[in-house]
């Protein structure tokens, strides 16, 4: 675990080093979702914060998961991408990545194509009010297979690499 000082030094380097990569993954996913995307109504952008009621427990991710489970299409498609993204790769590919990222990305694209945005977006892009929610979201809503590579360099390694690269500096 990094100290607070090490984190404050490492995270800017991480985002500088990976901002293009993160942007690229988001663009790849969003561009491949659909040729005719459905525009979001303006009213959906201005909805009140789901945690606005004081004294009432608030967990937007849990609420989104419950809403998805009440809809058969959403429930089926979510179960499908979770099963595919958590499935280990075939033995011939075992040394490459911990899962089949290509199949996982395809399943996530199908989820977005087949499930209405009213259910899919709150589920995949929910905000968590606490660390427990964030960990649960990381493990169940957004599968690690969809975004993790087989080797993840440490923040200090990224910082060192960035400082040695003239373009990154």
Q: Is residue 1 part of a domain?
A: no
DSSP secondary structure string, 34-81? -SSPPPPPHHHHTPPPTT-STTS---HHHHHHHHHHHSHHHHHHHHHH
> Considering the domain boundaries, does residue 50 fall inside one?
no
What one-character DSSP code corresponds to residue 88?
P
Residue 92's domain comprises 58-150
pLDDT digits 0-9 by tens, 28-57: 333 333 333 444 444 443 344 556 566 677
In the block, tokens 């030094």 appear at 9
pLDDT computed for residue 100 by the predictor:
80
What is the tally of structural domains in the chain?
A: 1
Give the H or E element holding residue 4: helix 4-33
Q: Do the domain assignments include residue 140? A: yes
166 lies in some domain: no
Residue 26 lies in a domain: no
Q: Give pLDDT < 50 ranges for the chain.
A: 1-2, 4, 6-48, 94
**Residue 22 domain flag:** no
Distance in angstroms (rounded) separating the CA atoms of residues 120 and 105: 15
pTM of the model: 0.53
In a domain, 15, yes or no: no
In a domain, 101, yes or no: yes
């Amino acid at each position: 675990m990094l100290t607070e000082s090490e984190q404050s030094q490492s995270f800017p380097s991480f985002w500088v080093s990976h901002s293009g990569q993160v942007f690229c993954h988001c663009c790849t996913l969003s561009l491949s979702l659909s040729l005719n995307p459905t525009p979001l109504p303006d009213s959906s952008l201005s909805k009140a914060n789901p945690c606005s009621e004081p004294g009432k427990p608030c967990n937007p991710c849990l609420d989104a998961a419950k809403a998805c489970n009440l809809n058969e299409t959403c429930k089926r498609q979510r179960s499908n991408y979770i099963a595919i993204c958590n499935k280990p790769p075939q033995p011939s590919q075992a040394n490459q990545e911990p899962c089949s990222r290509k199949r996982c990305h395809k399943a996530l694209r199908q989820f977005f194509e087949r499930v209405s945005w009213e259910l899919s977006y709150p589920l995949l892009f929910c905000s968590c009010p606490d660390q427990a929610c964030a960990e649960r979201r990381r493990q169940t809503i957004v599968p690690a297979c969809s975004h993790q590579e087989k080797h993840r360099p440490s923040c200090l390694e990224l910082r060192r690499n960035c400082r040695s690269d003239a373009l990154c500096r």
